[in-house]
Amino acid sequence: MNQRHPMKMPCIASNLIACLALSLTAVLPAGLAHSQEVLNFYNWSDYIAEDTIAKFEKETGIKVNYDVYDSSETLEAKLLAGHSGYDLVVPSSSSMGRHIKAKIYQPLDKSKLPNMKHLDSNLMKAVASQDPGNKHSIPYLWGTTGIGYNVDMVKKVLGKDAPVNSWDLVFKPENIKKLTACGVSFLDSADEIYPLALNYVGQTNSQKKAHYKKDSAANSMLKSVRPYVKQFHSSSYINNLANGEICVAVGYSGDILQAKSRAIEAKNGINIEYTIPKEGTAVWFDMLVIPSDAKNPSAAYKFINFLLRPDIIADITNYVSYANPNTGATKLQDPEISNNPGIYPSQEIMKHLFTLGSPKKKLLKMRNRLWTDLKAGR
């Protein structure tokens, strides 16, 4: 039986636009015939599982534009300049407090985040010190800042009694000077390193002006070790540790453990360990927030709620080796992750940890000036 086909009529001038629209609809895939929803996401480098974004895009049809940074200062500069173009960003809790005061972030509509029910209530109370009532933020991942080291290289340089469980390893000139033989890296962040120096000299989270001057104990200590720091960087130390280009890094817990995993995968014989110094260190929380000028907050809410699913955040923790605040995720994580004290510190170790404070504006300027001079060797 012959099928009847509709007669093709030529486009005439009066109906040209309609014809063009029909033609485009016919040749484009169904999903592209209409404009696709887009989420612009700005996150720390090496801080999400390989398939997280692909899963979200497949489930929702929302396209994710993903950019990364490696220091709080980089994110802060973009946000303070305004019109960043991002719908979702991940500041650390310590800097988030001053951002909230500057009204950079939107208050959250928690009715759009039903998966908040999985969040640890004690941890929520802890981050509320920077975001009262948890009005603007949701915790993503958390960790500590400590020392990553090449076991064999450090032992060769400093001997079997090397103080790898102490900040003395990098904050005493007589130790770090010897380590120049194999290379030491510091995070390129005043937000991270200066508080560690303050803690080391017994002035944890000080708000005193005298403790931010050139001749202060913390700055003098940092200046004494500055000549022996090979690099200041907040992400390259992962690969540099893994391939033996450096032997010690002051870095983030999960990054060091990623370096260890990469060395194991490469089968290069490099043995990396992470330690939380006995003098104590900073525990930090990275938060999910929506900028005030976000173009698509609706997509941001969908992605935050997606990240709050126990199965999704468990996969992320397994991949990046950072702890998460999700009570439903623990049973879904690899046991070697959940039982690793470098990722989930014991209660005894937790007693020696401190949250990073946010200095007053004037002290912040003084600290940033000290940091610039320190890196320049002045």
CATH C-level class of 143-283+358-376: alpha beta
Measured from the Cβ of residue 31, the count of other Cβ atoms closer than 10 Å reads 8
Mean pLDDT of 273-293: 96
Lowest mean pLDDT among 218-232, 267-281, 340-354: 340-354
The reply to whether 38-142+285-343 and 143-283+358-376 are identical in fold is yes
**pLDDT for the residue numbered 34:** 52
| Sign, CA torsion 45/46/52/58 | positive
| Backbone torsion region of residue 37, taken as left when φ is above 0, otherwise alpha when ψ lies between -120 and 50, otherwise beta | beta
Mean pLDDT of 229-236: 95
pLDDT tens digits along 67-88: 999 888 899 999 988 889 999 9
Q: Closest Cα to residue 47, out of 265, 258, 240, 264?
A: 258
pTM of the model: 0.85
Mean pLDDT of 2-7: 34
Quote the DSSP letter at residue 49.
-
Mean pLDDT of 350-373: 92
Mean pLDDT of 22-51: 72
Enter the CATH code of domain 38-142+285-343: 3.40.190.10
Paired sense of beta strands 184-186 and 231-232, if any: parallel
**34 contact partners, CB below 8 Å, separation of at least 6:** none
For the chain, the domains span 38-142+285-343, 143-283+358-376
**pLDDT for the residue numbered 272:** 98
**pLDDT for the residue numbered 360:** 86
**d(C-alpha 162, C-alpha 2), whole Å:** 89
pLDDT exceeds cutoff 70 at 339: yes
